[in-house]
Amino acid sequence: MPGAQNIKVAVDAVVFGYTSKEGLSVLLIKRNIQPFKNSWALPGGLVRDDESLEDAVQRELREETSISISYLEQLYSFGEPGRDPRNRVISITYYGLVRPDAFDVKADTDASDVAWFNIKKLPSLAFDHTTIISVAHERLKSKMLYQPVGFELLEEKFPFSELEKLYLAVLDRPFDRRNFKKKITKYGFLEETNEKQALEGAGRPGNLFRFNEEKYFLLKKEGISFEI
């Protein structure tokens, strides 16, 4: 005879942000309900009976942070017994990478505050959300080695050093800069312009680069290997 089952399904969103100045950050809410009242946590909540997982995670983001993201990728399912002290809850998690300055965040519903936190300076988090962020970060690192990243995060024209800074911030490890440039440029989704970088003080300005949008999204769809 099968045992009784009383499992609830939730969704959580790991929204990574990147800017050249602040590096890699994560969007968090401060809970204003129990459990973990006044603790920081990922945006998320229970899935309604009449909505898909994707609709649920987008709704929770809108309700708790006032932002809407066009695409989030499913990450993993977290379902350890006891991860939520109220019920047995399985969380289907999603993640994405955006520019924080593209959004005007505002807390709502069961959140009393919302803010971006540097990935290296996270506060103590509710539930198992520290683990979820760690898993999402590792997935993002892995993804950056087989998919080009940067079109949505950098200016239309940028110095190559800005792309290097993006990869350094996400991968969180050093790499050979000359080898990186050689491997990135050989795929053809970066175009060097004749425009020069604006520099303050001494130094020789380098040329600015831009993405070839058609090649960029084709390679992003097909996948490549940077082997950085």
pTM value surpassing 0.85? yes
Q: What is the dihedral of CA 161, 163, 165, 168, to 10 degrees?
A: -130
d(CA 90, CA 113): 25
Residue-wise DSSP of 79-119: --TTSSSSSEEEEEEEEEEE-GGG------TTEEEEEEEET
d(CA 145, CA 13): 22
Structural domains of the chain ordered from first start: 7-143 (3.90.79.10), 158-222 (1.10.10.10)
Cβ–Cβ under 8 Å, residues 214 and 178: no
- pLDDT tens across the length of the chain (228 residues): 567 788 999 999 999 999 999 999 999 999 999 999 999 999 999 999 999 999 999 999 999 999 999 889 999 999 999 999 999 999 999 999 999 999 999 998 889 999 999 999 999 999 999 999 999 999 999 999 888 888 889 999 999 999 999 999 999 999 898 899 988 888 999 999 999 887 655 567 789 999 999 999 998 888 888 777
Phi, psi of 191 (to 5 degrees): -120, 130
Identify the bridge partners of residue 210 per DSSP, sorted by sequence position: 191
Cβ–Cβ under 8 Å, residues 194 and 207: yes
